Amino acid sequence: MSRLIVISNRVTAPKARSEEGAQGGLSVALAAALREYRGLWFGWSGLKTEEFTGHIDLQRRDGVTTATIDLEEQDVDEYYNGYANRTLWPLFHFRIDLAEYDRSFGSGYERVNERFAETVAPLIEPDDLIWVHDYHLIPLGMQLRERRLKNRIGFFLHIPWPPHRLLVSLPFHQRLVRSMLAYDLIGFQTEEWLDSFHHYIEREMGGTVASDGTVRVGNRSVKTAAFPIGIDAQDFARVTRTPTARQAYERLKRSAEDKHVIIGVDRLDYSKGLPERFLGYRRFLEEHDDVRGKVALLQIAPPSRGEVHTYEEIRAHLDELSGRINGEFAHVDWVPIRYVNQGYPREELAGFYRASEIALITPLRDGMNLVAKEYVAAQDPENPGVLILSRFAGAALQLRDALLVNPYSKDEISDAIARALDMPLEERKRRWRAMMDVVEKDDVLWWRKNFVEALQSAVSDQSDARQATELVP
């Protein structure tokens, strides 16, 4: 059996199995795949070094080998904080107004992708399957081909793919997309993002798309498909039964007294629609004075990407907005919004999800959104809560029995909260069962199995793959 080489920006070192509860579902699933295929996981350590040395820190723990490198300060500024998080992230989340185009970001991005390729290439054996993850590493496949690697190489994008008309606002967009033709398989979260990619290929590159998703540009063919990512539903159900989860459940229930808890859990990011959510909740309080004092919104949002200015701004904005809404509506014994800037281990989150009658998950755009699936998996089947979900999250295409809302509309958010609070038990159970079926069936194991099998069966014509690198101007 071939080995699997996973390459992502950051590597989450596997913990001992007994500690796995503290890790994200994705890293657990990838670690399981790496154990099965005897592979290795390569990426940035998260550490900075004065000068790039290419030194690889190889570690083996619990059956998984990780190989990490440190990056220079300038690399981190230009590649990670720059091109990845200030150019691609906003643009791919339809926030062209926030996207910054700086020549140094683009060159830093390509330099780091070259450094990744240069360092990982000697670790790769001819039969290895290579799986590259996310927007930080789009040109990596081409960089590996330039080093004469003939392996099957797949790429999975965790975030949305923007519509053609938006993507052309990116300087050198053709160069970026052409570099993707070096892969054998390109995976997206949903059919919607896949369609946008196909439109770009047809309209901007004069390529064709066959009915099986094979994209053809010049002589180069690449397989493309949607692989909606899931959670480890079985494990999440187990986590929900742990003593820590039960304690977290009790703690939230006790502190809420008899109030209906509405929960939101997100990284603090402008794509998650937090100000719009607070304003939608404010509209609800305004319109339903009879319920004031009987509901509480618990928003958990730990800061992320603190080195990027826009993230400082969103944080300041939310502090101000939550303070203003609380000041406007609070009583001596009731605060409408509990806004918490810290992350919690999975066990505790599971307990909080189960103790909340409603989840309000309203990103303005999201590749998938795993929190929505975790909320569903943590519910009590006999008394499940209601999921209110943005129709612009990838998850909305699968969780059709959520109450789907336009996250920009205060009225829709307000009406959905009112409807959720009044929803009869039978309807809650019916909706939950339908969503839980999807969460259980299309779980993370299914996702990675599908992707790896599709990659194994991708016909890799290497003469074409080398040509792809020649297509890049």
Identify which range of 99-107, 219-227, 233-241, 370-378 contacts ligand ADQ by CB under 6 A: 370-378
Identify which range of 101-109, 139-147, 361-369, 441-449 contacts ligand ADQ by CB under 6 A: 361-369
196-216 burial string, b = 16+ CB within 10 Å, else e?
Answer: bbbbbbeeebebebeeebebe
Residue 317 among the catalytic residues: no
Q: Are 58 and 125 in contact (CB under 8 A)?
A: no
Residue 366 among the catalytic residues: yes
Q: Are 71 and 52 in contact (CB under 8 A)?
A: yes
Q: Are 31 and 19 in contact (CB under 8 A)?
A: no
Among 67, 132, 137, 300, the residue binding ligand ADQ under the rule CB under 6 A is: 300
**Residue 225: strand pairing partners:** 187
Rounded Cα gap, residues 357 and 127, in angstroms: 50
Point out the catalytic residue in the list 184, 232, 366, 415: 366
Closer residue to ligand ADQ, CB minimum distance, 201 or 300: 300
CB neighbour list of residue 195: distance below 8 Å, 6 or more residues apart: none
Identify the three-state secondary structure at position 171. coil
Contacting ligand ADQ within 12-31 (CB under 6 A): 24-26
Among 23, 77, 343, 434, the residue binding ligand ADQ under the rule CB under 6 A is: 343
- 366 is an interface residue for ligand ADQ by CB under 6 A: yes
Question: How far lies 186's CA from each of 33, 85, 194, in Å?
Answer: 19, 21, 9
CB neighbour list of residue 343: distance below 8 Å, 6 or more residues apart: 300, 302
- 274 is an interface residue for ligand ADQ by CB under 6 A: no
Contacting ligand ADQ within 141-200 (CB under 6 A): 158-159
Rounded Cα gap, residues 155 and 132, in angstroms: 5
- 299 is an interface residue for ligand ADQ by CB under 6 A: no
Closer residue to ligand ADQ, CB minimum distance, 10 or 259: 10
Q: Are 372 and 402 in contact (CB under 8 A)?
A: yes
Closer residue to ligand ADQ, CB minimum distance, 70 or 374: 374
- 350 is an interface residue for ligand ADQ by CB under 6 A: no
Token pair 């080998």 in the structure block, residue? 65
- 94 is an interface residue for ligand ADQ by CB under 6 A: no
**Shortest distance in whole angstroms from residue 239 CB to ligand ADQ:** 11
**Shortest distance in whole angstroms from residue 459 CB to ligand ADQ:** 27
Question: How far lies 189's CA from each of 161, 177, 194, 398, in Å?
Answer: 9, 17, 8, 11
Among 54, 63, 171, 302, the residue binding ligand ADQ under the rule CB under 6 A is: 302
The closest alpha carbon to 391, from 418, 372, 414, 377, belongs to 372
3-state percent helix, strand, coil for the chain, nearest multiple of 5:
50, 20, 30
**Size of site (CB under 6 A) for ligand ADQ:** 21
- 306 is an interface residue for ligand ADQ by CB under 6 A: no
**Shortest distance in whole angstroms from residue 125 CB to ligand ADQ:** 28
Among 267, 315, 338, 449, the residue binding ligand ADQ under the rule CB under 6 A is: 267
Closer residue to ligand ADQ, CB minimum distance, 181 or 245: 245
- 88 is an interface residue for ligand ADQ by CB under 6 A: no
- 266 is an interface residue for ligand ADQ by CB under 6 A: yes
- 288 is an interface residue for ligand ADQ by CB under 6 A: no
- 349 is an interface residue for ligand ADQ by CB under 6 A: yes
Point out the catalytic residue in the list 93, 133, 136, 158: 158
Identify which range of 2-10, 40-48, 68-76, 368-376 contacts ligand ADQ by CB under 6 A: 368-376
Which run of H or E residues covers position 286? helix 274-287
Q: Are 433 and 441 in contact (CB under 8 A)?
A: no
Identify which range of 40-48, 191-199, 360-368, 414-422 contacts ligand ADQ by CB under 6 A: 360-368
- 368 is an interface residue for ligand ADQ by CB under 6 A: yes
Which run of H or E residues covers position 436? helix 425-441
**Shortest distance in whole angstroms from residue 363 CB to ligand ADQ:** 8
**Shortest distance in whole angstroms from residue 134 CB to ligand ADQ:** 8
Identify which range of 60-68, 112-120, 265-273, 460-468 contacts ligand ADQ by CB under 6 A: 265-273
Closer residue to ligand ADQ, CB minimum distance, 181 or 337: 337
Rounded Cα gap, residues 155 and 180, in angstroms: 8
**Shortest distance in whole angstroms from residue 334 CB to ligand ADQ:** 24
DSSP annotation string for 440-472: HHT-HHHHHHHHHHHHHHS---HHHHHHHHHH-
CA 279 from centroid of its chain's CA atoms: 24
Active-site residues: which are they?
Answer: 158, 366
Per CB under 6 A, residues contacting ligand ADQ are: 24-26, 158-159, 229, 265-267, 300, 302, 343-344, 349, 366-371, 374
